[in-house]
Chain A
Amino acid sequence: MSAPGRVKARAVDMRVKIGPMTLRNPVLTASGTFGYGDEYAHVVDLERLGGVITKTVTLKPRAGNPPVRIAETPSGMLNSIGLENVGLVRFRAEKLPRLASLKATVVASIGGETPRELAKLLEALGSEPGIAGFEINFSCPNVARGGARYWAVPRRLERTMKLLRPLTHGALIAKLSPDVTSVGDLAIACEQGRADAVTAVNTFVGMAVDLDHMRHRLNRATGGLSGPAIKPLALARCHEAASAVRIPVVGSGGIMSGRDALEFIAVGASAVQVGTASFVRPRASADVLEEMTAYLGDRGVKSLESWRGGLAAGAARRPAVPATGGRRGSA
């Protein structure tokens, strides 16, 4: 943030292009952490965000997993929601009109158990004027079928992306699981399937045990780990994905502040997602954007794109811009 008395930081061009979609800035809300947009609309000016990624919608409504669905762990949380959502019919009838009225850039997250299910969703939603793009949830760790493990096969991903590509003129983003041998290989498969971007990464599979009662803390034993605990892991996956492909990478995992977000941009991400932070502070996404812009503005950066990737593989080993003193990077 600017020191008191300093002239207002110069405007930074924060725009990001993802396929056919131009975001006003790189801050997106992570799917499943921001509802359908309107739940937090009274505390966050959605129009100012890069975009809102809605809760994953599936063909049929899903009730989600039985309780217990949440367990807090050191610097993180496990969730086993199980893709609870209202289903395609109610999404179209009830959510889309409200989303359109929000004036936000909307990216709809869709999930399916098979390539055919995803195609059906995109056939229904692909031409909706209120949706700028789609994030394909290839990485839910909490469902019995069509979850992260099913989709962690490069050839399946490539074939699916090729199947989906003709069904929309909107952006297609593939959200990848980190629990794979090589997230880079999955990213390449998506790129070859003509995805516009990949998101690295969804939650990590984790487990928590209640030793005194000798039981799992989550009903399904495992859940997806998110929050600050996964940031170093996510950064490495994001760096790997960004090194592997030429399409934009959306960084995600444990981003709580503008500095966190810029670390992802530094290792090669073009945009970022704020997730668990919104549960802690509903305004987190707006705050992240403000902090990012102030950090870059204070350093005289003219555009995010010119600053991006200072620590990406192959980047020259130098700071992208001289630091202007003050805080050093956190250890």
Chain B
Amino acid sequence: MSSSTAAKPHEAPAWSQVRARVLSQRDYGPGHRWLDLEVPPGFLAPEAGQFMQLLLLPPSPVLLPRPMSVAGVTRSGRRTVVGFLYGPVGAGTRALARLVPGDEVDALGPLGRGYPLERPGTPVLVAGGRGVAPLLFAADVLRRGGRRCEFFFGARSRAQLVGLDDARRRLGRLGGRLHVATDDGSRGFGGTVVALLDRTARRLEGPLAIHACGPHGMLKAVALWALRHDAQAWLAMESVMACGTGVCRGCPLPRSEASRTEYLRARGDAPSLLGNSEYAMCCTEGPVFAASDLDWDRVE
């Protein structure tokens, strides 16, 4: 597997920066918020796994926009609403959490490459904690496409299983299965979500197409499991970012040997936005990477 097969072909930037209106915001499980933003007509709707840069209007406690994974897109008539699930953990997200309906932010997106949900195989979604956000979106997309998925959801304990009921609802009609794991055993399987995946996988119909999001430690375990079992896996990575558009070069992730070779082979066609032979940019080449694309020993 190589980066060229893992990712969709590069296209000219399709993002724009628009003024978006807060439609609603609510608590979403302990320590988390769900924000619905209405974007203007003509704004290209994000795909599952893509992200947006949310910029607070002045006066703002922070300078840079916040990269936020998209947790859902709903459309009714000309109205497009983009949903975000996040934890207010820093100055920027805490200020975001205080916005009320009618408030505005500047939204830049859609950014990056999303999950290749169209890939054949049994879709297996693996979420860790609040990493569930883009996978709720992915489950929506799969359900609309009439595809059943296996949804693995892990967290340290039951309190961190944010959006568990939403995940269950999204699987509902099609009869997709929810597999829950907690490190402390307070809900579902006692152990990591990857250990649960390992126990369950042989009962799933192959080939598996794994789409995961969560802490990097978990993603590394998913990636290594997939590589060992010859399954395909795509992981939504995180990085500190400034611009989110490939310009600042601020979000490098270390390439695997295979990805390095592939990059050097294809570099005639590879726009510089897509990193270099040593590093891939999380914002433009990711945030979703194939397991074989990254050097997991060097991912922090």
Contact = CB atoms under 8 A, between A and B. Distances in A.
Given A68-B240, A72-B64, A33 B247 contact: yes
Contact of A64 (B63, B106, B279): B279
Contact of A76 (B17, B63, B272): B63
Contacts of A12: none
B279 A281 contact: no
A34 B242 CA distance: 13
Contacts of A81: 248-250
A84 B281 CA distance: 11
Interface residues of A, number: 38
Nearest to B276: A63
A189 B65 CA distance: 39
A193 interface: no
Interface stretch (A39-47, A146-154, A161-169): A39-47
Most buried by A among B65, B239, B247: B247
The secondary-structure label for the interface of chain B is loop
A25 interface: no
B242 A282 contact: no
Given A35-B273, A42-B13, A86-B272, A282 B245 contact: yes
Contacts of B242: 70, 72, 77, 79, 276, 279
Interface string A53-81: 00000000101101111111001110101
Contacts of A68: 240
A227 B62 CA distance: 11
B160 interface: no
A40 B247 contact: yes
A77 B246 contact: no
A243 interface: no
Contacts of A36: 272
Nearest to B90: A72
B43 to A, nearest CB: 13
B103 to A, nearest CB: 18
A42 B273 CA distance: 15
Interface in A177-225: none
B247 A35 contact: yes
B247 A64 contact: no
Interface residues of B, number: 34
B253 interface: yes
Interface string A228-243: 1000000000000000
Contacts of A79: 242, 248, 250
A95 B254 CA distance: 25
A195 B292 CA distance: 49
A69 B247 CA distance: 13
Interface in B246-300: 246-254, 267, 272-273, 276-279, 300
Nearest to B279: A63
Nearest to A82: B249
A22 interface: no
A35 B246 contact: yes
A81 B250 CA distance: 6
A279 B248 contact: yes
Contacts of A279: 64, 242-243, 247-248
Contact of A33 (B248, B252, B254, B272): B248
Interface string B53-94: 001000000111100000000000000000000000000000
A303 interface: no
Contacts of A86: 272, 276
A67 B16 CA distance: 27
A228 to B, nearest CB: 7
A281 B239 CA distance: 20
B247 A281 contact: no
Nearest to A85: B272
A280 interface: yes
A105 B135 CA distance: 45
Interface string A125-157: 000000000000000000000000000000000
28 contacts: A33-B247, A34-B247, A35-B272, A35-B273, A39-B246, A42-B12, A61-B276, A63-B278, A64-B279, A66-B252, A67-B239, A67-B251, A67-B300, A68-B240, A69-B250, A69-B251, A70-B242, A72-B63, A75-B63, A81-B250, A84-B276, A95-B272, A227-B63, A228-B63, A276-B242, A279-B242, A281-B106, A282-B245
Interface of A: 32-36, 39-40, 42-43, 61, 63-64, 66-72, 75-77, 79, 81, 84, 86, 90, 94-95, 227-228, 276, 278-283
Interface of B: 12-13, 16-17, 55, 62-65, 106, 108, 239-243, 245-254, 267, 272-273, 276-279, 300
